[in-house]
Amino acid sequence: MANLSIRHLDPHLKHQLRVCAALHDRSMAADAREILCQALTHPTAAAAPSAAVTTANPNSATPDAHHPGAAR
């Protein structure tokens, strides 16, 4: 399995994850995996902007709207 580190996570968001994980009687890592799995396998209209990231050509010379600092 792959590992993922999330830098610069808002402390309030981390606290919410900790509380949510405790309510589900699992670790923060297990709860985060479940949240990601649910979000990516059952997308909603709120997640639609991420589609631009997955379909964008990484070799494109056009900057990505979601990443203003992207190469031009």
What's the pLDDT tens digit per position in 6-30? 999 999 999 999 999 999 999 999 9
Report how many domains make up the chain: 1
The answer to whether residue 6 is domain-embedded is: no
The answer to whether residue 41 is domain-embedded is: yes
Structure letter (DSSP) for residue 45? G
- The parent domain of residue 19 ranges over 11-46
| Mean pLDDT in residue range 40-65 | 58
Whether the predicted pLDDT of 63 surpasses 50: no
What's the chain's average pLDDT? Answer: 77
3-class secondary structure, 52: helix
The answer to whether residue 21 is domain-embedded is: yes
Neighbours of 29 (CB within 10 A): 12
The answer to whether residue 60 is domain-embedded is: no
What kind and span of H or E run contains 41? helix 28-41
Task: Kindly report the pTM of this predicted structure.
Answer: 0.57
Total number of residues shown for the chain: 72
Question: Which residues neighbour 61 within 8 Å (Cβ) at sequence distance 6 or greater?
Answer: 71, 72
